[in-house]
Amino acid sequence: MRYWVIFGCVAVAILFWWWVREPRYKGLSLSRWLDTYDAILTGHLTQPGFEETRAALLHLGKNGVSYYTARLAYETPAWQYSILKYLDSAQTGFDKVQKQLSSQGHDYIEAHSRRARAATLAFELLGTNGAAAVPDLERLARSYDYPARTQRAVTALRYIGTSGRAALRRIAMNGAPGPSAEALAVLSPKWAPQRSGQGWAGSNSQVFTLGNNWSNRTSFPRP
């Protein structure tokens, strides 16, 4: 009985993860268009193609830029990893169901990571039309609980134009060390500190991953 309760809770959690109300264009949700955009940027053949995807993202972004910010901000919470860890290792006697739930959970996390990347680069398409997102993006960029999210927010601000660059200057001059370093790397690459690891690249942008020394930095040179 205990295992049935556990599986019931897991199933409800997964359904909750997937249920998100979002705008649609030509019958497809924003998530579907972001999946297509990510596939295009990573070199996969897709249908629909770039121009139709670009038109869709521009249309959806006119009145729904907050949805892009929400996708960009995604980080998998620890409790979801805990559930997946349990599903991957527990001996319950329901191997088939357990394996299916685990697979769906991993697919969910991977899909949301792809959409976070695509939403970031969608701001390049939006340009100044994404200006309404600047306050939320600046807030996300200043938080270094999740360095990858800070990097995505900084990248999006870069694409928005004057208001985005103004936010980057504020972060560079009075932000915490990690966000300040990210903003400086965009505003003036010559001031960028040493990096470790590889980031992802798409379109004309590149996002880097900071090493473990992020929280140990106390100051950075100013441009």
pLDDT band at 5 (very low <50, low <70, confident <90, very high): very low
Beta strand residue intervals within 90-206, DSSP E? 201-202, 205-206
Instruction: Return the SS3 of 77.
Output: coil
Regarding predicted confidence, which is higher, 82 or 193? 82
pLDDT at 145: 85
pLDDT at 86: 73
Which residue, 214, 36, 183, is CA-closest to 111?
36
pTM of the model: 0.69
201 belongs to a structural domain: yes
Which residue, chain included where needed, has tokens 């701001």?
123
DSSP state of 219: -
Domain tally, the chain: 1
139 belongs to a structural domain: yes
62 belongs to a structural domain: yes
Q: Picking from 85-89, 112-116, 129-133, 143-147, which range would have the lowest pLDDT averaged per residue?
A: 85-89
pLDDT at 210: 33
Gap between the Cα atoms of 160 and 148, Å rounded: 19
pLDDT at 9: 54
- Considering just the CA atoms, what is the radius of gyration of the chain in Å? 19
221 belongs to a structural domain: no
Does the pLDDT of residue 182 top 50, yes or no? Answer: yes
222 belongs to a structural domain: no
The three-point CA angle 175-76-205 to 5° equals 55
Cβ contacts of 69 within 8 Å, gap of 6 or more: 119, 133, 136, 137, 140, 156
128 belongs to a structural domain: yes
Does the pLDDT of residue 168 top 80, yes or no? Answer: yes
pLDDT at 127: 93
198 belongs to a structural domain: yes
pLDDT at 190: 54
Q: What number is the average pLDDT over the span 188-215?
A: 40
pLDDT at 43: 83
The structure tokens listed for 135 are: 């306050």
Regarding predicted confidence, which is higher, 18 or 155? 155
223 belongs to a structural domain: no
Long-range contacts of 208-213 (CB under 8 A, 24+ apart): 208/151, 209/147, 209/148, 209/151, 210/147, 210/151, 210/178, 210/181, 210/182
Does the pLDDT of residue 102 top 60, yes or no? Answer: yes
Does the pLDDT of residue 18 top 50, yes or no? Answer: no
pLDDT at 79: 76
Does the pLDDT of residue 56 top 90, yes or no? Answer: yes
Percent of all residues in the chain with a pLDDT value above 70, rounded to a whole number: 71
Alpha carbons within 13 angstroms on the beta-carbon side of residue 131 total 7
Q: What is the residue range of 48's domain?
A: 2-216
Percent of all residues in the chain with a pLDDT value above 90, rounded to a whole number: 39
